[in-house]
Structure 1
């Protein structure tokens, strides 16, 4: 059971005025959250939780929504560990009461899994996600709730780099939401987006573009979906760019950057600028891209830390750019930094490890170190085969490199970029 923040519980709202006061408190908290004033909202959500406990007792399922709202508020502040205890409490009060709607338990478990994923506790998150899916399927395998569960498992498997395993879960979520909600629904758009990103990473470009266009169109029609619309545009641009359709990618990346600049979303602008710079490298304008990529690297190191996965990706992008400029030794040093960060990141960074080894191999080739290049390709090939499948473009590229076939620097090699996390 979660604990309160240490203050004395408010008087139980056992009268009609007391219950009305509780409703007012909750509405004020919601208004503060909607306005981005999460600290002010937190105080009110804690007060509302204490009032509910005083009224209902500590172990009733009706407490789950109060725990959920406080947890969501803390997560909006980036306090994922603090929020975990309330996510756990929401699940506990539902698990410990017979007759509770299994889909509500599944939804709360799914939210807990996302929290654990955000903390990097992927193995725990995977276990909870399968529990959530089991609960959400109890009313049928083709319900909207079941789709939520399938989407959650797909997200966890994708985070683990198990893209082939994630595909059927994301696909099933799309099928259910299209049938139940229609293509224009915001939840269907989320499934289109998630599935499209995955298909792009698997090299299934035509299917990926179709899904991401559907996501963009649905979100563009929703006036309040500005950030999500930009996310879809960015993902579509990244997918096109990573699969060799560079000129087509540019306007989509520019569209994302324009939306986020208008909304003054600085962190998102950095991601769009990063993708645009990678696009410039592909278009043969590496010299123009280098200053932007150095700025992105500096921002990532300042905001997320020197050892963050995003910082490693920034080092890798800079390395590929330097390689394209013929500065192979500098490029190799940048790739070494990226690889060290990814290796330290553990199992969830395995796909990045493979990408960075493939990029190091390109540097070794350019420096005439063919034996070293083949060794790097062999190590990358093992990971790619498991994560992406034997026929994926990156797997085939690594297989050619491991066999000693001659590549031009960067030919067929991935340039990792940040893809916004699936929602």
Structure 2
């Protein structure tokens, strides 16, 4: 009955009363092994089947009856037409006349939603013809006028029968495919082994190739499975399948343009996730072009194509090209008919670009709107919520709100572990970012442990030579440096520089960011001469990017200033120290450690030029703070103390 059914926020129904279930402990109830709880006739009048009230043996048909009564009760006045036929068959007096299984009932409900003829009305030719006319009204009216002049309605009946035959063939192919796929998950057919989700998908993909002949059925199954591969972070697999789908749709011309636009868009994201940025740009452009060619226009399809094209550029760190695409995607998604989940994803990706452009206030608004949309209507979309929470954690990290950052990352990881028990690329990214935050909070042991967990997932999903793995390794190197393991850190960073050089190239942001970390390490190792050249190369590279990444450009100038100071050239440090401090002051909170580092570097440069009091005013507050927090074990703290004694003591 309805009061015994609870629907969760995620839309999953839960039964609260198993009154006719077989008890697990017969002794507790004084029953023999063959007895079941049906002997109690535990039932609610009005919901129990006739045979249940008569005390007869209960079968699946009993549950079908009760479910039909519940449906009539819940749907109320909406039980008419096809729904009335479904409920009527489910609640027939004789058990043998009801649906033979829950799957059969579900099948009729699916056919109702698709506008197809029902099993509940099998054999009613007039009804089947009416369903066909309703689904193909324009074609039937046009054809009917001509055919009626010649041969009456005979042609319509023939077409209708052929259509039903095709649909029945497709349904049988899908059913056969699913039976084989689910049978593969049965340990009885696998010598006791239970295959993973990945293995089931691989087997399903092969079965499509070998067994499914109807092209439309192949397309539908392949699109579903490609989306599943993508959802698991298996982008190589998904893009291979999407490419085959695109080949089939391209032959259909305008008829397949809407689906083709979405396929191109998915391929753009997949290629970008794999680090193939030129390929991603190609697919992204094709997706937008296909979406804009639709007649009539479809704002939802266009918004998705723009979003994926934006994301491809963002993953390639080309935020200048990405920003206008994401902005347009967000605008078009409003009122487009896209689901809240899709709109939430578009807003999240817009937030990513805004964050990387250091527009933190607007980025936070986009993230929070994304989370709210994904959770709207009581149907939280787990993956979208998880990624948006993780991005919000990254934003808080940028702003120096480390406690809030770890909370967001922790919540996101907990959700991702539930969603992806076998792991996922998104989980690797969130783990990496949590480790970054913990390292900044000087929890080095825990940070390195989490980095290594992330690296296992990176290797699994994007490969040994991926740019993302390289970036995470460089982050771990900074943690090793902060923990005082300088040679380990240097070795890790040299390997990462080579990975980036072979991947995105030396002039791109990933390589330059790692080079900056290496320069900072060299300053600490006392090899400041090398550090000056490396820092200059990094800063010059950042300044040539469009748009300029402000955080890296600002911090790079501070590292260059520190290297010049350590090289005995503090007079040359004034210009980069002042410029770096101004950049960081515009984007970071005053309590961020980079701001403190910048204050000391500029203070030393001023003091070295005889402006001792100006320099002291910048250095002294930072020196007092680090002394009071007893952080003298860190190299940067020791360096600050050294600068204080040299220029202010």
Q: What's 1:297 paired with?
A: 497
Q: Is the 8 A contact 2:319 2:546 kept in 1?
A: no
1:188-227 superposed Cα distances (whole Å, 9 cap, x missing partner): 1100111111111110001100000011111112224432
Instruction: Report if the CA contact (8 A) 2:497-2:515 is conserved.
Output: yes
For 1:69, the equivalent position in structure 2 comes to: 263
CA contact (8 A) 1:122 1:348 kept: no
Query: Match for 1:237 among 435, 441, 457?
Result: 435
Equivalent-residue separation in structure 1 for 2:250 and 2:385 (angstroms): 36
Counterpart contact for 2:516–2:538, Cα < 8 Å: yes
Following the alignment from structure 2 to structure 1, what is the Cα–Cα distance between the partners of residues 283 and 470?
27
Q: Which residue of 2 aligns with 1:357?
A: 557
Task: Indicate the residue corresponding to 2:426 in structure 1.
Answer: 228
- Spell out, residue by residue over 1:132-166, the C-alpha distance to the aligned partner (whole angstroms, 9 max, x if none): 22233337999444433431221121232333442
Counterparts of residues 408-423 of structure 1 (less than 5 Å): 410-411=636-637
Q: Which residue of 2 aligns with 1:265?
A: 463
The residue number in structure 2 matching 1:89 is: 289
Which region of structure 1 is more displaced relative to structure 2, 383-392 or 208-217? 383-392
**Which of 365, 374, 380 is the matching residue for 1:177?**
374
| Shift of residue 83, structure 1, vs aligned partner | 0.6
Task: Write out aligned runs for 1:140-289 (5 A).
Answer: 143-178=340-375, 185-221=382-418, 222-261=420-459, 265-266=463-464, 267=466, 268-289=468-489
Q: Pick closer, same or farther for the CA change 1:250–1:183 going to 2, 3 Å.
A: farther
| Unpaired stretches in structure 1, ≥5 consecutive residues | 1-13, 414-423
Partner of 1:24: 218
- Decide whether aligned partners of structure 1 residues 390 and 146 sit closer, same or farther in structure 2, where only a CA change above 3 A counts: farther
Matched, 1:383 2:619: no
User: How many Å separate the matches in 1 of 2:516 and 2:565?
Assistant: 17
- The offset of 1:85, in angstroms, is 2.9
Alpha carbons of 1:175 and 1:42: their partners in 2 closer, same or farther (altered >3 Å)? closer
Q: What SS does structure 2 have at the residue aligned with 1:307?
A: coil
1:77-124 residue CA offsets vs partner (Å, 9 max, x unmatched): 421232133221243145x526x4x44443333223223445665344
| Cα distance change, pair 90–214 in 1 and its aligned pair in 2 (3 A) | farther
Q: Superposed, which structure 2 residues align to 1:326-345 within 5 Å? A: 326-345=526-545
Q: Which has the larger radius of gyration?
A: 2
* TM-score of the two chains, using structure 2 as the length reference: 0.54
Q: CA deviation at 1:42?
A: 5.6
Change (3 A) 1:230 1:119: closer
Structure 2 stretches of 5 or more lacking a match? 1-161, 171-212, 604-614, 624-633, 640-649
Give, in whole Å, the separation in 2 of the partners of 1:387 and 1:320: 21
Contact 1:113 1:124 in 2 (8 A): yes
Larger RCO (CA under 8 A, 6+ residues apart): 1
The offset of 1:32, in angstroms, is 7.3
* Rounded Cα–Cα distance in structure 1 between residues aligned with 2:243 and 2:427: 32
Determine the C-alpha separation between the residues in 1 that align with 2:478 and 2:381. Answer: 31
